[in-house]
Structure 1
Amino acid sequence: MAHSHEHDHGSHAGHSHDLGNADKNRVLIAALLTGGFMIAEAIGGLLTGSLALLADAGHMLTDGVALAFAWYAFHLAGRAATSRMTYGFHRVKTLVAFVNGLAVLAIGLWITYEAWERFNTPAPVLGGPMLVIAMLGLGVNIAAFYALHGGDRDSLNMRGAILHVLGDMLGSVAAMIAAAVIIFTGWTPIDPILSVIVSLLMFRSAWFLVHESGTLLLEGSPAALDRDKIAADLVAHVSSVREVHHVHIWSLDGARNVATLHACLERSAEPFAAIKAVKARLATAHGITHATVEPEIEECADYGKAHGCHDGEHSHEDDHKHAHAGHTHNGSRHLH
C-alpha cells in the first residue's frame, strides 16, 4: 500500500521561524521588565503594608519566572528535530503554557487566603506611597503588554505570557484604586477586597488556558478543528476520495496542527495526485500543514474490507465491530 508523508517546509516554515524569533524577543523584553520592577514593588508592599501591592509583586515574581520559561520554550522550539524528538521541541511551549495557567491559579488562591487573613486582622496601609508604586508598576506592565501584544495569538505559550502580564496590569490598577480610596476615606478593607476581585478575574482566563493546553498535551484535537466535519469536507471537495476514516488531529502548540488519516480512493484515481489534493485541502481550508495520508483502494490495511472501503452498506455486525471509530452515513460514503 502506498504511503505519503510530507513535511511542513518552504515559505510557511520560514514564516513560522521568523514569527517564533520575534515572539521570543517579545517575551524576553517582558520578562526583563517584569522581573526588574518586581523587587521594587515587593519592598514597597512591605513598607506600605499593602496586600494589593504584595499580591501584585507576587504576581510579578511568578510572572517573571513564567516569562523566562516561556522565552526558553521559544528558544527550544527553534531547535531542529532529532531521531528521538521527531517533531522537534514545539510541544515544550504547550507544557509551559499549562504550567503558567496552574501558576496563575495558585497565585489567585494564595491572594484569596491572604485577603481573608487581612479581613480578620486589619493592618494600617500607607495610601500615598502605595499609589506612587502602583502607578509605576502599571507603567511597567503596560510596556510589557505592549511588547507582547503583537505576538502570535495562536501560540498557547504566547497567550500564557500575555495572561500573566494582563494579571499584573489588573493588579496594578486594583492597587491604584485601593490607594486612592484609602487616601480619601481611610477605609483599608478596600485593599484585600480588590485583591480578591483581581484573583477572580484571572481564574477564568487561567482555567481556559489550563484546559486548552492540557487537551493538547493529551493529544486532543484543537477546539477549532472538528474531526468529523474535516473528514466530510475532504469527501465533498476531493473528487477522487469517496471515504475518509482513521482520522487523528492534534496540535503541537496550538498553532502547528497535525493530522493522519486513511483516504479510500475511487478505483480510477491516481494515488499521488489524490494525496496531494487531500494535503492541499487540509492546508488551505483547515490550517493543517503537516499531514500523513494513507491511500486505500479496496480494503483498509488496519481493518480489512469490513471497515467499509468498498461499495455498499455496512452490516450491523461490522458497525458494532468498529463502533469505536464512529459512523456518519451519507449515501454509500461513511466517515469514521
Structure 2
Amino acid sequence: MHNHAYHNYEQHNESTSRIAWAFFLNVSFTIIEFIGGWLTNSTAIMADAVHDLGDSLSIGLAWILGNLSERESTSRFSYGYRRFSLLGALINGIVLIIGSIWVLSEAIPKLLNPEMPVIEGMFGLAVLGVTVNGYAAFKLSKGKSLNEQMLNWHLLEDVLGWVAVLVVSVILMFIEWPILDPILSIAFTIFILINVLRNLWATTKLFLQATPNDDTANTIRESLLSFAEVKEIHHLHFWSLDGEHHVMTAHLELSKLIEPTRQLQLKTEIADRLSGFGLEHTTIELEFPNEPCRDQ
C-alpha cells in the first residue's frame, strides 16, 4: 500500500514537473513572439502569439490546479478544489476573446492596405516556433495524465500554426503577396474564436451547474427506478465539479415500508449500481410512503 501511494506521488511529481517546464518554455516563447511580431510587422505572428498566450494560461492554470486539486476538502471548500479549474477556463476564454478581437482590429484594415512583413524575421520565428512547440509537445507526450494529454493537443495545434506561418514566409520570399499575412492572421483568429466560444459556452453551463450530460442523467434515473422498492424519484440533481468529476443527489420514494436490514442492503445495491458512472460524490435519501418531503 505504501509503495502504491509512493508510486502515485512520484507520478504526480513527474507530471507536475513536465507541465511546469512546458509552461515556462511557452511563456518565454510567447514574449518573443509578441516582440517578433511587432518587429517583423506580421499580424500572422501576432495572431499566433495571442494563441500561444492562451496556451500559456492553460498550461499555467493546469500546473497550479494540478497541485491545488490534490488538497483535501475543508469545511469551507467541502467538495475540494476541483471547481477552481472552471474559473480558470472562464478567465482563459475571456483573455483569448479580448486578444482575438485586438488581432482582428489590426488585421482587417491591412486587407485594404497590406504591408510586406520582414520576411527573414518571419521565417526565423516560424522555424523557432515549430522547434520550440514541437519539443514541448514531445515532452508532454510522455505524460499519461489527462492534463498533459489535453495540453499536448494545444501544443500540436501551435506546431501546425507555425508550419502555416513558415509556408507563407517561404511563399513571400518568391512572390510579393503581402495580403497573405493578414489573411493568415484572420484565419488563425477565426479558428481560435470558434473553439474558444464553444469551450466557453460549455464551461459557463458547467459553472452554472447545468447537467454535464443529459443521456447519463437519464440512464442514472432509469437505473435507480429499476429497483422494485423504488416508486418514484424526485430532486435528482446531477452536476459537475470540473467537467470530469460529477456529483449526484436524489430522493427515492419507496413503494412500501421495508425493514432496516433491507434498507441497508438496498443502499449497498444502489452504491454498486452507481459505481459504474464514476461519480465523485453521491447523496441518496430514502423516503417512505406518505412521508412528507422536507424539500418540497
2:285 paired residue number? 294
User: Structure 1 residues 230 and 16 mapped into 2: Cα distance closer, same or farther (>3 Å)?
Assistant: farther
State the alpha-carbon separation in 1 of the partners of residues 209 and 248 from structure 2: 11
8 Å CA contact 1:220, 1:250 repeated in 2:
yes
8 Å CA contact 1:251, 1:258 repeated in 2:
yes
What CA RMSD, in Å, does the superposition of the two structures yield over aligned residues?
3.0
1:96 paired residue number? 88
State the alpha-carbon separation in 2 of the partners of residues 275 and 58 from structure 1: 52
User: Structure 1 residues 127 and 72 mapped into 2: Cα distance closer, same or farther (>3 Å)?
Assistant: same
* Greater share of helix: 2
State the alpha-carbon separation in 1 of the partners of residues 242 and 110 from structure 2: 40
Q: Of 189, 201, 217, which aligns to 1:199?
A: 189
TM-score, normalization: structure 1? 0.75
Identity of aligned residues (%): 31
1:144 paired residue number? 136
1:257 paired residue number? 246
Segments of structure 1 that go 5 or more residues without pairing to the other structure are 1-12, 305-321, 323-336
2:47 paired residue number? 55
Post-superposition CA distance 1:12-48 (Å, at most 9, x none): x999988766654443232122112223333332332
Please state whether the residue corresponding to 1:75 is helix, strand or coil.
Answer: helix
Q: Of 179, 182, 189, which aligns to 2:179?
A: 189
User: Structure 1 residues 168 and 239 mapped into 2: Cα distance closer, same or farther (>3 Å)?
Assistant: same
1:280 paired residue number? 272
1:214 paired residue number? 204
State the alpha-carbon separation in 1 of the partners of residues 152 and 198 from structure 2: 14
1:68 paired residue number? 60
**Deviating more after overlay: 99-108 vs 71-80:** 99-108
Segments of structure 2 that go 5 or more residues without pairing to the other structure are none
Q: Of 101, 117, 123, which aligns to 1:109?
A: 101
TM-score, normalization: structure 2? 0.84
Please state whether the residue corresponding to 1:89 is helix, strand or coil.
Answer: coil
State the alpha-carbon separation in 2 of the partners of residues 297 and 114 from structure 1: 66
Structure 1 residue 208: deviation in Å?
2.2
Provide the aligned length of Structure 1 versus Structure 2: 288
4+ aligned runs moved over 6 Å, structure 1: 13-20
Post-superposition CA distance 1:132-186 (Å, at most 9, x none): 2112212222233344455554x7x974x55753553343133112212211212
8 Å CA contact 1:38, 1:60 repeated in 2:
yes
Name the amino acid aligned to 1:299.
Answer: N
Please state whether the residue corresponding to 2:289 is helix, strand or coil.
Answer: coil
Name the amino acid aligned to 2:197.
Answer: W
User: Structure 1 residues 195 and 257 mapped into 2: Cα distance closer, same or farther (>3 Å)?
Assistant: same
